[in-house]
Amino acid sequence: MIAYTLRRLLGAIPTLFVIVTLAFFMMRAAPGGPFDTQRKLTPEVERNIKAAYDLDKPLVQQYLIYLGKVAHGDLGPSYKNKDFTVVQLIGTGLPVSARLGLCAMALALLLGTALGAAAALKQNRWEDYSVMALAMLGITIPTFVTAPILTLLLGIYTGWLPVGGWNGGALANMVLPVAVLALPQTAIVARLMRGSMIEVLRANYIRTARAKGLPTHRIVLGHALRAAALPLVSYLGPALAAVLTGSLIVENIFGLPGIGRYFVQGALNRDYTLVLGVVICYAALIIFLNFLTDIAYGLLDPRVRMS
């Protein structure tokens, strides 16, 4: 177990290295630079700015300097958000994004498992069909369509919820973004859950439990649900990546101060360090959470061997 953990953590280093390298050189290959303005700068000013940020050195040298800094946990200063370092910006943005993502994941898992299990118990009846039709809707309609339409209905026409903004993470401000973010994941979880639940309900031990006269709710809660939820654990990794991607859109639409928004702005403004910082942060997060998922899977399912 410890050996496995160590090997996985060591394995993450080359992956992160590849990500940093790819992102660094791709970003630099983009036309334009962080200090391009409408007005042409005088050559002296431009030279001074570039020297201050090491941008006058050869690209490979810049890359090595950057790698050295990253290894020490320093992601450099943001070129566009003056007076802020990238670490500071991520420090303010990450809690917002994390809170949004975790709430959406929790909602999707709870609601998805419940809906999927209910559909499986009522297989091929109207309850099943309506849940599956809803799930199809949730999967096919993209976040950037549901977000404005829900805002239109719940924010503008009825005025029940605020249309955007973070407001320090107030509950009313969280409802719409979290709902929009959770919707597609809820749909996928419900579909997965229905499938595995139907399979589990046919198993011999469920028949045994029925034969010895256990009431349905105890069969479902005590036996079927746990076994059926197991495949969901391996979906957690992809789900998380999807939520992170979705948060790019949601943060932009609702004007939330998360790191997804910094990323899009940074990419448009050629804020090299900010973009790289966010990529590193997201990549590390995804790798770490995938690792946690694998560990959890191994702990929950004794048939899986860590190797």
Token pair listed for 305: 């061997």
Strand blocks (E) in the chain: none
- Beta-carbon contacts of 220 under 8 Å, excluding residues fewer than 6 positions away, are 117, 121
CB of 42 to another protein, least distance (A): 26
How buried is 204 (Cβ within 10 angstroms: 0-12 exposed, 13-18 middle, 19+ buried)? exposed
By CB under 8 A, tell whether 22 contacts another protein: yes
| Residue 274 touches another protein, criterion: CB under 8 A | no
Between 80 and 210, name the residue whose CB sits nearer to another protein.
80
Minimum distance of another protein from residue 27's CB (angstroms): 6
**Judged by CB under 8 A, how many residues of this single chain contact another protein?**
45
Cβ-based nearer residue to another protein, 223 or 261: 261
Residue appearing with tokens 């973070």:
166
Choose one: 25-33, 49-57, 112-120, 200-208; the region binding another protein (CB under 8 A). 25-33
- Give Cα 215 to chain centroid, integer Å: 39
Contact with another protein (CB under 8 A) among 90, 119, 147, 176: 147
Give dist(CA 108, CA 142) in Å, integer: 16
Q: Which of 123, 140, 167, 208 binds another protein (CB under 8 A)?
A: 140
Q: Report the site for another protein in 205-264 (rule: CB under 8 A).
A: 241, 244-245, 248-249, 252-253, 263-264
Instruction: Write down the least CB distance from residue 101 to another protein, Å.
Output: 13
Among the listed residues 13, 26, 41, 65, the single contact to another protein using CB under 8 A: 26
Residues 6+ apart with CB under 8 A from 254: 147, 151, 163, 164, 165, 173, 176, 177
Q: Structure tokens of 176?
A: 């719409």
Q: Give the amino acid at 304.
A: V
Which tokens in the block code for residue 37? 């303005």
Selected binder of another protein within 6, 18, 52, 296 (CB under 8 A): 18
Q: Which of 68, 91, 142, 165 binds another protein (CB under 8 A)?
A: 142
- Residue 79 binds another protein, judged by CB under 8 A: no
Q: Does 279 bind another protein (CB under 8 A)?
A: yes
Which of 229, 282, 293, 294: binder of another protein (CB under 8 A)? 282
Instruction: At 85, give phi and psi (nearest 5°).
Output: -90, 160
User: Is residue 93 within 8 Å of residue 169, measured between CB atoms?
Assistant: no
Angle at 96 between CA 93 and CA 97, to 5 degrees: 85
- The tokens describing 263, both together, are 């990323």
Other Cβ atoms within 10 Å of 107 Cβ, number? 17
Burial class (CB in 10 A: 0-12, 13-18, 19+), 27: middle
Q: Figure out which of the listed residues 41, 67, 156, 170 binds another protein, where binding follows CB under 8 A.
A: 156
What minimum distance in Å lies between the beta carbon of 297 and another protein?
A: 17
The answer to whether 98 contacts another protein (rule: CB under 8 A) is no
Q: Which residues bind another protein (CB under 8 A)?
A: 14-15, 18-19, 22-23, 26-27, 29-32, 136, 139-142, 144-145, 147-149, 151-152, 156, 241, 244-245, 248-249, 252-253, 263-264, 267-268, 270, 275, 278-279, 282-283, 286-287, 290
